[in-house]
Amino acid sequence: MDGKLDATDRRLLSVLQQQGRISNADLSERVNLSPSACHRRVQRLEEEGFIRDYVALLDARKMGRTTVIYVEIKLSGQADEILDAFEQAVQKVPEVLECHLMAGTADYLLKVVAQDADDFARLHRAKLACLPGVMQIQSSFSLKCVQSTTALPV
C-alpha cells in the first residue's frame, strides 16, 4: 500500500488532525478498527511520512502575539547565493511563522506575528530589513482572521 491512502487511512488522518492526543483505543473506535490494527496503520502512516509530526498549537492571544502581518520581500537579485543566504537567515527569526518563495511581484511572502504595531516596527527595523539581499519590504496587517486551520483536506 506504499504511498496510497484508502478510506480508513483518510478517516485516521482526519481524526488525528483534529485530535492529535486521542488515545489509540478511542481512535480505533472512531474509525471501526481493532486497537492493534489501528496502531499498525498509524505507525505505517508515520513511517511513510503522511504523519510528519505531532505538535501543540498555542493560543496566540495568550502568548501575547495578537498581531499578524503578511510581509512581501523583494530581493536585490535571483542568484542562488542571494536566495540561499536569505532563506538561511529568515529561518532564524522566530517571529516568522511561514516563509514562501513566490512567483509574481514579490520574491518571498512571510507570515509574521508581533505583539502590536510598535513591536512589528522594532522587528521590521532590527530583523527583517537586515536580512541578506532585502531590497524592498511591503507589509500588510491582518485585521481579522476569518478562517485558520492546520488540517489538510483528506
pLDDT tens for 15-59 read 999 999 999 999 999 999 999 999 999 999 999 999 999 999 999
With b meaning 16 or more CB within 10 Å and e meaning fewer, what string describes 113-132?
bbeeeebbeebbeebbeebb
With b meaning 16 or more CB within 10 Å and e meaning fewer, what string describes 80-106?
eebbeebeeebeebebbeebeeeeeeb
Say yes or no: do domains 7-47 and 67-141 share a fold.
Answer: no
Q: Is the pLDDT of residue 5 over 50?
A: yes
Distance CA 25, CA 36 (A): 9
Non-local CB neighbours of 81 within 8 Å, separated by 6+ positions: none
Q: Is the pTM of this model over 0.85?
A: yes
Indicate the pLDDT class of residue 1, thresholds 50, 70 and 90.
Answer: very low
pLDDT value for 93: 98
C-alpha grid cell for residue 122? 522594532
The SS3 assignment for 54 reads coil
pLDDT digits (tens, 9 = 90+) for 78-93: 999 999 999 999 999 9
H or E segment to which residue 26 belongs: helix 24-30
Instruction: Give the mean pLDDT of the chain.
Output: 96
CATH number for domain 67-141, candidates 3.30.70.920, 1.20.1090.10, 3.20.20.80, 3.30.2320.50: 3.30.70.920
pLDDT value for 144: 96
What's the CATH fold of domain 7-47?
A: Arc Repressor Mutant, subunit A (1.10.10)
Q: Is the pLDDT of residue 152 over 90?
A: yes
pLDDT value for 3: 66
Listed by start position, the domains of the chain span: 7-47, 67-141
Q: Is the pLDDT of residue 142 over 90?
A: yes
pLDDT value for 62: 97
- Residue 110 and residue 71 in contact, taking contact as beta carbons nearer than 8 Å: yes
Closest alpha carbon to 60 in 122, 138, 124, 142: 142
- Residue 96 and residue 109 in contact, taking contact as beta carbons nearer than 8 Å: no
Share of the chain above pLDDT 90, in %: 97
Please give the backbone phi and psi of residue 72, each rounded to the nearest 5 degrees, phi first.
Answer: -95, 130
